[in-house]
Amino acid sequence: MLTGTYCIDLEYYLLVVTVLLVVLILRLIYSMVLKSVLSPQSISTASCLDIVIPDAMTPKDGRFGSGPSKFRIEAVQALVERSDGYLGTSHRYDTVRDVVRELRSGFKELFDLPEGYEVALGNGGSTAFWDAASFQLISKKSHHLSFGEFSAKFAVVTTAAPHLDNPSIARAEPGTVLPLTVPDGVDACCYPHNETSTGVSIQPQRVSGFEQTLMLVDATSAAGALRLDPETVDAYYFSPQKALSSDGGLWIALLSPAAIERIEDIAASGRWVPAFLNLKTALDNSRRNQTYNTPSLATLFCTAYQLNWLNRSGGLEWAAKRCERSSQILYDWIEASDLASAFVADPLMRSRVTVTIDFDDRVDAGVLCDVLRSNGIVDINSYRKLERNQIRVGTFPAVEPDDVAALTVCIDYALERLVV
Ligand SMILES: Cc1ncc(COP(=O)(O)O)c(C=O)c1O
């Protein structure tokens, strides 16, 4: 009797367990199927790449990179026409020196440089200029506004420099920036005009009461696109692969009389400076329309070509307005979208040249970039180290505002198919 009851209980128990297991498995299968239908992230990239945007909708030029950025075909054609007698000739002769002369006078015109300001250039891009500045533009201690990858990198350079005191660093959360101040003992303030990695811009300025402190402003993604009062900067340095629509590897710096004096004083002080990074040598060579070592002649030529185009088109004001128009198309699009938001919360800090757009989790920004890339729209991925569900669009002067408008149409087209 006892044994019989025990058997019935066991059978009943096994039945309940089996039913529960079946329910659990069914639920699992159901949720997996449901997820694959509803979640855009689960759509395989391969099937997304089947999305074909009609040609009539796509931009004429699909390059929206934040650097290297769109290179104007006219510059390449002009280089081809000029190549005979220019490319492959010595940079110590007038054929090349005339282009450097044109560059130096073109920048004076573009920025309306005050008396005493000079344009210097050398090889190595803005990254090399950070090292050079740490030797000959900072006497003892620098202050850095660090609000993204590039501003942080300059602070790393001065922190490691054994001949300098530890810098003071005002670090801000990505997408924001702290106000510019001049802490005690600082002889140079360092910050970018436009932090390319986050899309935060600040207008170069001096701090009242500290007019003698050198302002070293990284203009790599700003020069030729954002307005500048040159009196507010002592070294405004950049590489030409962004607004200047050329290739990288070159640095160009607008130097104030105070910056030139600092370079000369430190050169005379006996501080050891690596020859390649010697700004006094670079300045002396620039005054002769040369560089210390062999430059890329194609880069020089294309930079000068773009510079002439900017000056002929209406100068810096024209370029700034064009970038405002292009970026505003994107900010208006964000405003109208329920999937996107501007990464930079403060509208006054939003970049006019590198627009950063966050998406909510119904969108996988990486898949969106892949779809657009497969349709000829390239390089709008967010800065890799930010690790956000974001895209970043370069709206430099070479980019046609109409192409930016077409880009928003293409993004909508892709999102309609990616987000169910
Ligand atoms: C703001 C800023 N600073 C510095 C750099 C470094 O420039 P380069 O690679 O020409 O040395 C970049 C490059 O993208 C940049 O965007």
Q: Do 304 and 327 have their domain in common?
A: no
Q: Do 220 and 126 have their domain in common?
A: yes
Segment 264-317, tens digit of pLDDT: 999 999 999 999 999 999 999 999 999 999 999 999 999 999 999 999 999 999
CB 417 within 8 A of CB 374: no
Domain count, the chain: 2
Name the residue of 196, 299, 379 to mutate for ligand 1: max ligand atoms within 8 A of Cβ.
196
Cβ 127 under 6 angstroms from ligand 1: yes
Residue 341 is assigned to a structural domain of this protein: yes
Last-in-domain residue among 293, 313, 333: 313
Cβ 66 under 6 angstroms from ligand 1: no
Atom of ligand 1 nearest to the CA of 197: 16
* Alpha-carbon gap, residue 360 to 342, rounded angstroms: 11
Segment 340-396, tens digit of pLDDT: 999 999 999 999 999 999 999 999 999 999 999 999 999 999 998 999 999 999 999
Question: In 290-326, which positions are buried (b, 16+ CB within 10 angstroms) versus exposed (e)?
Answer: bbbeebbbbbbbbbbbbbbbbbeeeebeebbebbbeb
At residue 390, φ and ψ (nearest 5 deg) are: -145, 155
**How far, in Å, is the centroid of ligand 1 from the Cα of 382?**
15
Q: Which domain holds residue 210?
A: 89-313
Is the predicted pLDDT of residue 25 greater than 90, yes or no?
no
- State the pLDDT confidence band at 23, using cuts at 50, 70 and 90: low
Residue closest by Cα to atom 16 of ligand 1 = 196
Is the predicted pLDDT of residue 329 greater than 70, yes or no?
yes
Cβ 192 under 6 angstroms from ligand 1: yes
Q: How far is CA 310 from the centre of its chain?
A: 20
Assign residue 373 the CATH number of its domain: 3.90.1150.10
The pLDDT of residue 42 is 41
Distances (CA, A) of 33 to 30, 41, 362, 386: 5, 13, 17, 32
Sequence-distant (6+) residues with CB within 8 A of 54 are: none
Atom of ligand 1 nearest to the CA of 248: 10
The least confident of 14-18, 81-85, 91-95, 121-125 is: 14-18
Cβ 218 under 6 angstroms from ligand 1: yes
Segment 148-160, tens digit of pLDDT: 999 999 999 999 9
Distances (CA, A) of 267 to 253, 270, 278, 281, 283: 18, 6, 8, 9, 12
Last-in-domain residue among 248, 281, 313: 313
Is the predicted pLDDT of residue 43 greater than 50, yes or no?
no
**How far, in Å, is the centroid of ligand 1 from the Cα of 53?**
33
Cβ 281 under 6 angstroms from ligand 1: no
Atom of ligand 1 nearest to the CA of 195: 1
Residue 396 is assigned to a structural domain of this protein: yes
- Tell me the pLDDT of the chain averaged across its residues: 93
Q: Do 191 and 282 have their domain in common?
A: yes
Residue 248 is assigned to a structural domain of this protein: yes
Q: Do 142 and 277 have their domain in common?
A: yes
Residue 165 buriedness (CB in 10 A; 0-12 / 13-18 / 19+): middle
Q: Do 200 and 116 have their domain in common?
A: yes
Assign residue 215 the CATH number of its domain: 3.40.640.10
The pLDDT of residue 420 is 79
Its pTM stands at 0.89
Both tokens of 419, joined, read 């987000």
* Alpha-carbon gap, residue 287 to 118, rounded angstroms: 9
At residue 200, φ and ψ (nearest 5 deg) are: -105, 130
Q: Do 277 and 171 have their domain in common?
A: yes
Q: Do 176 and 323 have their domain in common?
A: no
Atom of ligand 1 nearest to the CA of 67: 14
Peptide bond into 162 cis (omega under 30): no
Helix and strand numbers, DSSP H then E, in the chain: 12, 12
Q: Do 222 and 281 have their domain in common?
A: yes
* Alpha-carbon gap, residue 330 to 193, rounded angstroms: 20
Q: Is 214 helix (H, G, I), strand (E, B) or coil?
A: strand
Segment 248-259, tens digit of pLDDT: 999 999 999 999
Residue 76 is assigned to a structural domain of this protein: no
* Alpha-carbon gap, residue 350 to 332, rounded angstroms: 13
Q: Do 395 and 353 have their domain in common?
A: yes
Q: Could you give the residue ranges of the DSSP H alpha helices within 214-364?
A: 257-269, 279-287, 297-313, 315-336
